Structure 1
Amino acid sequence: MAKRPWHSIIRRSLSKSLNAFLCRIINTKIEYDKIDAKEINRILIIRLNHRIGNALFLTPLIKALEKKLPNAKIDLLLGADFSDLIGRMTNVNKIYCANSRLIKRPFKLFALIKELNKNGYDLTISPAKSSGSSNIMQASVKARYKLSFRVENIINFANIVVDLPETKHAALLPLAVMEAFAGERLTYEPYLDISLFDDEKAQGKEILAQLIGEDNIDDKTIIGIFRDARYEKKIADKYWLEYINKLLATGNPYIFVDIIAPDGKAVSDDIKSISFENLRELASFMAALDFFICADTGPMHLASAAKTNIIALFNNTSPEAYGPLGKNDRVIDINNKNMDEVLAETVSILNY
């Protein structure tokens, strides 16, 4: 089990200390209580993080903004280029990338800020509770309304803030900024969704049929496995191989597909495997599966956004905060459970 590297721990500690210091010398000026939806035509969502999951956690907010403001154009400023992932959502206009390397290239950073300021945003949103970098970038972009959360010891330049919600789930946190809008309170879907198109789903089914055979699509239960995860969340390949082989030994009509990370290796030559470079193509393939089994990892949230049934094996993190959100998704906490108990729970879900 890989532990979080020291440089990551130190960076988080320094960031926390710096935020606390800056909060003592910078005062946030709150100018508005509510946002008039009629005044909003251009929106910029700022989330300077490079992880797949955190990008996908924005999709409930994007869908909610589409419902509240159907004619508004939404741009996103993210910590990695996720254009192929969420750029095809109907109300997403453009995705900008400001990764960590940009800090070392001030001329490119200033050029990006200049381009953003030409867009004439009516509203910028920093929807993370502890991202000082996103809040600082928000200060650099002109907008009438600058929306974020009210959080202690996190530097904030917003002129309208909302309280943190009671929800513990990280994916539902961004959705809470909708409380800032005046007028009728609408009901928003609390699910991840990248709005796959019919042609994308058809392509995913075609790739799956080529991999396992057309005849197996309807007669078998097709299960995708993804074994990779970050740090303590990773489950050993030895465990995965035993888990898969024992599920096959139950005699149920299961076919497993080992979905491999671009730099990974297959768990066994006896199990079909596939890898994708493009995240949206991966999501299209996931949509064709009957089930997707994984640890707590970004592709888990991608499968959820593709509306695939998920069985998530959690061994370190909290399902309440990071578990899959689909109506049919299930979490198995493998801590303090032997393999037979995990298998029995898995089979009951697969055969339900």
Structure 2
Amino acid sequence: MVDKQRESAVIAPGWLDGKAMLAAIKPTLKKAVRQLEKAGRKAVFAALSAAAGRRQEVSVTALQEVSRIIVIRPNYRIGNAILSTAIIAPLQERFPGATIDFLVTDKTASLFANLPIGHITTVSRSVMRQPWRALPIVRQLRARRYDLAVQLAPSSLSGLVVSTLVGARYIMGKPKGSAAWYDITVTDPIVHAYDVGTAFSRTLGTICPANTCLAISDKERMRALGQFQAMGLETDGDGNPDAFVAVFVGGHADKVCPVSFWLALINDLNRTGKRFVVFVGPEEKAMIPRLQQALATLPLGSLCPPQPLRLFAAMLAQARVMVTPDSGPMHMAAALGVPVVMMLQAQKSMGFVPPCAGSRVVPNLNVSQVLVAVDGHYNDNAADATTNVMEADWPRVKASDRQISDSSMSVEMAL
């Protein structure tokens, strides 16, 4: 086979194709940039530690009159946004009646709709790249005079900076190493992604489960059912779709599964009589032609092209079980109480497996093991026996703490 990349590098004796040369050295450049970024972040963290000195640690039980709280998690990954919702219930328990605001990104803001929180302040990618554009946002946050700022990510430089600038009376977080950045320091180890909510909950002294949450409204549910009907899925007398397996073919970097695996999986799902819906994300559009070709001969399968995030969540909530690589939608499914079968492509993904009873991990792209895992959920009502709080349960939660109307939640877009 001809190495086209190597062949295109030389267009004439003594002349080099600059584009091909750049492609050849791109991995090396990326590695160098990552190393520089890591060194830069380390230097900034060290400088912040030196400038801030040591904060006087305060006991959570000593905090008085905490009525306005802001949770800081400006990260673009869907999974990290979902994971941050685990702090809501512990904060409600520790500070009943307090308003809990969130600082997130414009990409993930919609995930917080219908949750019992106050203002959602958003930052855009341009603000992240040009920090001086964040000054108006910082002024707005300072004007709200927060009593407590909660910085959830130990390794987030932007989160650390914002939590310092927001001007809250107290700051809570988990520092790197022995740094004394916060008034309330989280000391529990955080090894797994889902340890964050538990670690912060223990520091707060709360006993409620630190579960992630994603709330679907009745209107969103009806829209999802309409989408299923348009796709040709069979429904029961109440309009609910028959049991189906959600197959999400997305993923990031080394977590992506090859198209050949997905084709083999959906073929076997069809062969074993299981209805399934293949969900494609915006970054996987190139897979659609091959998936469409395969689904033309698989009567139990349907293809769902990229959807708005809220509609996708409402559709995912109807699934009996989800097959996915380590991905943001995996955490959405877990928050919705949908059992997850995770395809293990990278060992580091073990640190992100949802710790719910329905989670299963399948290594080595083993289709037969996936089918066994799916069988454990497909023919029962596991999807109806969720332990996560859905919107139907929010009124009970609100009644015990505070009342929030739909109109009290505002979304501020950073332009």
Please, which of 141, 152, 162 is the counterpart of residue 127 of structure 1? 152
Please, which of 56, 71, 75 is the counterpart of residue 101 of structure 2? 75
**Counterpart code for 2:261:** Y
**Quick one: distance in 2 between partners of 1:37 and 1:21?**
29
**1:26-45 maps to which residues of 2 (within 5 A)?**
26=51, 27-36=53-62, 38-45=64-71
Structure 1 residues 215 and 79: CA distance shift in structure 2, 3 A: closer
**Quick one: distance in 1 between partners of 2:373 and 2:215?**
31
Q: Is the 8 A contact 2:225 2:240 kept in 1?
A: no
Please, which of 117, 126, 141 is the counterpart of residue 116 of structure 1? 141
Please, which of 201, 209, 220 is the counterpart of residue 178 of structure 1? 201
**Quick one: distance in 2 between partners of 1:160 and 1:135?**
14
Q: TM-score, normalised by structure 1?
A: 0.85
Residue in 1 that maps onto 2:250: 228
Residue in 2 that maps onto 1:22: 47
Structure that is richer in helix per residue = 2
Query: Which 5+ residue runs of structure 2 have no aligned equivalent?
Result: 1-26, 296-300, 381-415
1:324 and 2:333 are equivalent in the alignment? no
RMSD (CA atoms)? 2.8
**Quick one: distance in 2 between partners of 1:35 and 1:18?**
34
Show structure 1 runs of 4+ deviating over 6 A.
216-219
**Quick one: distance in 1 between partners of 2:32 and 2:260?**
29
Q: Is the 8 A contact 2:244 2:378 kept in 1?
A: no
Deviation at 1:314, TM superposition (A): 1.4
Please, which of 315, 330, 343 is the counterpart of residue 300 of structure 1? 330
Q: Is the 8 A contact 2:225 2:315 kept in 1?
A: yes
**Quick one: distance in 2 between partners of 1:25 and 1:344?**
55
Structure that is richer in strand per residue = 1
**Counterpart code for 2:90:** A
Q: Is the 8 A contact 2:228 2:241 kept in 1?
A: no
Deviations 1:32-79 (A, max 9, x none): 122546511101111121110101001110122223333111111124
- What is the percentage of aligned positions where both structures have the same residue? 22
Structure 1 residues 138 and 289: CA distance shift in structure 2, 3 A: same
Residue in 1 that maps onto 2:13: none
Q: Is the 8 A contact 1:46 1:134 kept in 2?
A: yes
Please, which of 76, 81, 90 is the counterpart of residue 55 of structure 1? 81
Please, which of 182, 187, 199 is the counterpart of residue 158 of structure 1? 182
Q: Is the 8 A contact 2:72 2:151 kept in 1?
A: yes
Structure 1 residues 212 and 308: CA distance shift in structure 2, 3 A: farther
**Secondary structure of the equivalent of 1:163?**
coil
**1:258-277 maps to which residues of 2 (within 5 A)?**
258-263=278-283, 264=285, 265-266=287-288, 267-269=290-292, 270=295, 271-277=301-307
**Counterpart code for 1:282:** F
